[in-house]
Amino acid sequence: MFELEYHWIVLETPISSIQNLDDKGQIFYTLNFKVYTWGGNTEYLKSVITMEHFINNYYGYIKVK
């Protein structure tokens, strides 16, 4: 059975942090990176992602040499 927590992606570029200002002049950060996934909704991957959203949804990684 398909489980969202087992969905994988491959990071294809370095992750860069971009400083932004909101309407009240407060600083917030967005992230810029490209990934590959076997999932079906590629438009979602083109959405802006905030640092907070990334941290709340990042579960770890496996590095293999």
Question: Is 15 a residue whose pLDDT tops 80?
Answer: yes
Q: What is the pLDDT of residue 20?
A: 95
pTM for the predicted model, two decimal places: 0.60
Question: Is 33 a residue whose pLDDT tops 80?
Answer: yes
Cβ neighbors of 19 (< 8 A, separation 6 or more) are 27, 29
Percent helix, strand, coil in the chain, to 5, is 20, 30, 50
Q: How confident is the model at residue 45 (pLDDT cuts 50, 70, 90)?
A: low
Question: Is 1 a residue whose pLDDT tops 90?
Answer: no
Q: Which of 31, 28, 2 is nearest to 17 (CA)?
A: 31
* Token pair for 33: 């990176």
